[in-house]
Structure 1
Amino acid sequence: MSADYSVLIDAETWAFIERTNSFYPPDAVDYTVAQQRDVYNTMCKAFFAGYPESVSSADRFIDARDHKIPIRIYEKRDSDPEAVCLYFHGGGFVVGGLDSHDDVCAEICEATGFRVISVDYRLAPEHLHPASFRDCLAAFEHVASISELPVVLCGDSAGGNLAAAVSHTVRGDDRQPIGQVLIYPGLGGATDRGSYLTHAQAPMLTTRDTLYYAEIRGGGFNWSTDPRFAPLADPDFSGLPDTVVISAECDPLSDDGRHYCQRISAAGGKAIWNNEPGLVHGYLRARHTVTRARSSFRRICTAVHLLGQGRWPGQL
């Protein structure tokens, strides 16, 4: 049964959806990847909200084995950070970068006082799986090796997938993350049931879109049993960091967050799943114009802040 978005989605959110869609011409589905990136970057610039006055940033590189990984480091003036928030941006593993989520990271820095580090991992189709995962893992290992501060992993959409994949890979290490906050993540759930059917035609992201991005990321190869590609495929959910997943109700990916938290809880870990009523995929860009999105972003920042301090948020 399909969802009735005329009931679920309020006027503010519809205005955000319409503004977002205004950047995408009717034939955008047939665009090349380069053209898709141009459209996405133009849209992100239009939504850019600037930095809080107290926050500044600097661009650096991490030396990987055969290439350099660009990062952007955010600091809050006159603040002694208690933790590092390592942020992985969304964009279906195909679009996005340091600029697309620049203001989001700056605002997380301002709200928490933490050092925020955004990672410009390699994108598909030029760099197929596991390239993006390897870059995010290398970024975590670098940050953990040069600082004693606890690390909270955070990411939206594709970035939430990458954050979870890193957490699964490094659990049990001396310097594993203290927590993870996953924002409307795609975690490799079954696409023929649950929210993938109910919200198959959701505004902002359809089930067909999720299949398209998975196909591009994987280069046509079926990686569905690889936890680095689909964290829900991991048979072992023990030993994972304290986890907060914040999904959007009107999103085919919402059940991925629910199932992920259920698996962690069943394995004896701590996990909270918030399914934000009436919100859609990509609502981080609506945090200044949509009341529901603004409230959700506050919950996201609170979760990052509390986890970084070694505190359990309870109910957000």
Structure 2
Amino acid sequence: MIDEPTWAFIKATDAEYPPDTATLTIAQQRAIYDRMCRAFHRGYPAGVVAEDRAIAGVPCRVFDGPGPMVLYLHGGGFVVGGLESHDDICAEIRVRTGLGVVCADYRLSPEHLHPAAFDDCIAVARAVGADGPILLCGDSAGGNLCAAVAHALRRTAVKILGQVLAYPGLGGDSDKGSYLTHAHAPMLTRDDVLFYKNIRHGAPSPQGDATVSPLQDTDFSDLPPTLAISAQCDPLADDARDYAAKITAAGGCALWVEEAGLVHAYLRARHTVPRAAASFTRIVDALSAMAKGQWPQGETK
């Protein structure tokens, strides 16, 4: 399934962030992850500037621009990541969509257990949304937080024009489907998923709580238009598929895309792997279309 450019990306990532990193201390994991992010950082496109400032008491990096603003929530298993980890991704979203972008530096586990990260993200969404419509975009754990925020803020004064979720973990059944088929996938294993899932709570993850596992909500109506993207070679692949299906079944607008041959965290490969570049284009095009109240061109519901 995996082509040569993607294998090269996997090997380059493993050189910076070894597959056994989840077995190390939290401090070690963060140091290694930060080093890896620096190695893959592509810099800012010409003319892009950012300012760090608090929004609703949460540290944020703001790429000022016209609205609707994109609220980007970063991945990292709720344990690693921050304003530097997805900095260049946000800068490129700013340029390619023409929209302003806010990245929230939400609190991390295990120092800050659930609902700390969710509380931070929804506070920023409310604050930014008070000035006009917003878009949600996030990868991995950030995709989880985007969906949780969308569920919590529907039918409120905050207008969410759409959400784009890249290889999100949404609380699917870890004992079936892609969790087993791709249990030993490069970049993210089923064991990694279970580690990050439980560390968010300091105990086994609670069931039936949509702020933790949006897939376990009982109501999928009135959610914003959603593009849910899976990496094919990822234990989380079925989560995006199942989430889009539930929104569609409830009468909403959602599309699931499975990116063939790609692996978890492929956004860092957007400049070196053609498949990842195409997926990143899909993401920015979807955000641009949603900002105009349109469904992404060339896609079908």
Q: What interval of TM-score do these two structures reach, taking the shorter chain for normalisation?
A: over 0.9
Structure 2: where are the runs of 5+ without partners?
none
Q: Pick from 291, 294, 297 the counterpart of residue 311 of structure 1.
A: 294
Q: Is the 8 A contact 1:82 1:309 kept in 2?
A: no
Percent identity, please: 56
The alpha-carbon distance between structure 1 residues 27 and 243, as it changes in their structure 2 partners (threshold 3 A), is closer
- Quick one: distance in 2 between partners of 1:13 and 1:19? 10
Counterpart in the other structure of 2:92: 107
Partner of 2:2 in structure 1?
9
Post-superposition shift, 1:254? 0.7
Count of aligned positions = 299
Give 1:246 shift.
Answer: 1.3
**Structure 2: how far apart are the matches of 1:219 and 1:84?**
34
Could you say which residue in structure 2 is the equivalent of 1:294? 277
CA distance in 1, matches of 2:261, 2:189: 16
Give the drift of 1:232: 0.5
Which amino acid is 1:60 matched to? R
Please say if 1:71 is aligned against 2:60: yes
> Quick one: structure 1 residues 25 and 310, their matched pair in 2 at CA, closer, same or farther if it must change by over 3 Å?
closer
1:260 aligns with 2:243: yes
Distance 1:26 1:184, change over 3 A: closer
2:102 alignment partner AA: I
The reply on whether 1:53 has 2:46 as its aligned counterpart is yes
- How high is the TM-score relative to the length of structure 2? 0.97
Map Cα deviations across residues 265-293 of structure 1 (whole Å, 9 max, x no partner): 00000001110000000000000000100
* Aligned-residue CA RMSD (Å): 1.2
Structure 2 residue aligned with 1:164, among 147, 152, 168? Answer: 147
Deviation per CA, 1:52-106, whole angstroms, max 9, x where unpaired?
Answer: 102110000023xxxx310001135xxxx24110000000000000000000000
Write the deviation string for residues 121-179 of structure 1: whole angstroms up to 9, x where unpaired. 0000000011000000000011012x12x200000000000000000001011223111
Alpha-carbon distance in structure 1 between the residues aligned to 2:235 and 2:55: 34
**Which residue of structure 1 aligns with residue 261 of structure 2?**
278
Report if aligned partners of 1:167, 1:176 keep a CA contact under 8 Å in 2: no
**One-letter identity of the residue aligned with 1:45:** R
Is the Cα–Cα contact under 8 Å of residues 191 and 197 in structure 1 kept in the other structure? yes
How far residue 110 of structure 1 moved from its aligned partner, in angstroms, is: 0.2
Residues 272 and 315, structure 1, Cα contact 8 Å, conserved in 2 = no
1:28 aligns with 2:15: no
Where does residue 124 of structure 1 map in the other structure?
109
2:156 aligns with: 173
Q: Aligned partners of 2:194 and 2:47: how far apart in 1?
A: 40
In 2, the alpha carbon distance for the partners of 1:267 and 1:29 equals 37
Give 1:4's aligned residue: none
Matched residue type, 2:68: A
Checking the alignment, whether the CA contact within 8 Å between 1:196 and 1:207 is kept in structure 2 is yes
Aligned equivalents of 2:287, 2:206: Cα separation in 1: 30
Alpha carbons 1:55, 1:75 under 8 Å: kept: no
Decide which of 73, 94, 97 is 2:82's aligned counterpart.
97
Where do 4+ consecutive residues of structure 1 move more than 2 Å? 24-30
- Identify the match of residue 38 of structure 1 among 31, 37, 60: 31
* Equivalent position amino acid for 1:111 in 2: R
- SS at structure 2 position matched to 1:139: helix
Q: In the alignment, is the contact (CA less than 8 A) between 2:19 and 2:187 conserved in 1? A: no
Indicate if the aligned counterparts of 2:83 and 2:104 stay in contact, CA closer than 8 A: yes
**1:70 is matched by which residue type in structure 2?**
P
What's the CA shift for 1:248? 0.4
Matched, 1:228 2:211: yes
